[in-house]
Amino acid sequence: MKSMKLAMITSSLSRTGGGISQVVLDLSSECYRHGLSLEVLGLEDEYVSTDCIDMAFPYLVFSSKGPRGFGYSPDLHNYLARSDFQLFHVHGVWTYPGVAAGVVGRRRNIPVMISPHGSLTKWTLEYKSFKKRLALMAYQRRELRAAMLFHATAESEANDLRAMGLTQPIAVIPNGIVLPPPISHKESGPSPRIALFLSRIHPKKGLVNLVSAWAKVRPRGWKLVIAGWDELGHQAELEHAAQAAGISDLIEFIGPIFGNAKWELYAKANLFILPTFSENFGLVVAEALACEIPTIVTKGAPWQDVETYGCGWWIDVGVDPLAEALDTATRIAPDELSRMGLRGRALVEEKYTWKHIEEEMNKVYQWAMGQGGLPDCVRM
């Protein structure tokens, strides 16, 4: 088989990219460890040197000009134009790195694979829709239509791509996580016990519903901890809602958490909650389950497995379904919650580690470069 050389292309390789950058780094590490020739390409920011310090694979970051959210980078474009890559795997949409990959790919006949990472779900397209419609008209629809194939993390995301009229092949492969060490035991506590939300503090995540549901249930002996990066000033809105409901003392906002501190926070939690309106995967759900935490997640995320495997609740979006699940979960005996947590860990070990996912993704890469047959995960 001929050698392959792949470019992983995204805007951010640091914490500023949230779950996308974590997926890019973890997938790249696993692919590189198994012998795939690749480079990871992104844009400079103040956290890259810290967050990529232990990466074993080659990566490069490029300066950008103009609005940071778009990331216009002639240096990245020029690097791609003179490279010897055989496939561009673009992670995320709306930003210039994907545009540069598309322009160079068409000019040099290099196939482009796009992982939207939830950026094209119905909810996301409708949120601040004016800007997205302009971007689609100006450049993004052209890049989407020119891609050779897409990567979706769930059938629901594949359906969203088809709803946009995109007819190219779609590889349906979930994201994965690097398993943390097993937890020897989950402390029942001194009181209060901890219900944890950890993700971006953004309207998409359904936190207004969570505050309302927490006010409705007010579980005795529990505290809600909300960890994450505040976006759009949304935390102030939540704090006001908590104050108006008289539950400010039952909710703690602790800001963004990274690295070992994140895993230490998971280890202290007794319940995890993701009340999202829309999610292509929900990496934090996999992380929480791997840390043996029973999880409440809405059907805005493709996590029916938590219900199927008996390690949590997969519920409709809304205050009432969330309040009902919270009431049930916070009344369950600690020993039963621990058993649910162990089932969650087993689920992640079975289906969501990078070893299994890298094998599937590598088959897709080989097929996209004309070096293998059509993988079973690809929907034509």
Please state the domain extents for the chain: 5-175+353-379, 193-351
**Which pLDDT belongs to residue 3?**
67
| Rounded-to-integer distance, Cα 264 and Cα 46, Å | 24
- Convert the pLDDT of each residue in 250-286 to its tens digit: 999 999 998 889 999 999 999 999 999 999 899 999 9
**Residue ranges in the chain modelled with pLDDT below 50:** 1
Strand-pairing partners, residue 223, are: 194
Query: In this structure, how many other beta carbons lie within 10 angstroms of the beta carbon of residue 36?
Result: 19
Cβ–Cβ under 8 Å, residues 113 and 147? yes
CATH number of 193-351: 3.40.50.2000
Q: Which of 249, 278, 1, 313 is nearest to 119 (CA)?
A: 278
Q: Which of 8, 176, 149, 4 is nearest to 91 (CA)?
A: 8
Tokens representing 157 are: 């995301």
SS3 9: strand
**Which pLDDT belongs to residue 79?**
97
Query: What is the phi/psi pair of residue 341, to 5°?
Result: -60, -40
Tell me if 5-175+353-379 shares its fold with 193-351. yes
**Which pLDDT belongs to residue 55?**
84
Q: Which of 342, 246, 226 is nearest to 289 (CA)?
A: 342
**Which pLDDT belongs to residue 186?**
57
Burial category of 111 from C-beta neighbours within 10 Å (exposed 0-12, middle 13-18, buried 19 and up) = middle
Q: Which of 343, 329, 245, 253 is nearest to 290 (CA)?
A: 343
**Which pLDDT belongs to residue 56?**
85
Question: DSSP code of 180?
Answer: P
Calculate the alpha carbon distances from 32 to 24, 83, 359 in Å. Answer: 12, 18, 12
**Which pLDDT belongs to residue 1?**
40
Fold of 5-175+353-379: Rossmann fold (3.40.50)
Cα 193 to the chain's mean position, in Å?
27
**Which pLDDT belongs to residue 189?**
54
Cβ–Cβ under 8 Å, residues 98 and 120? no
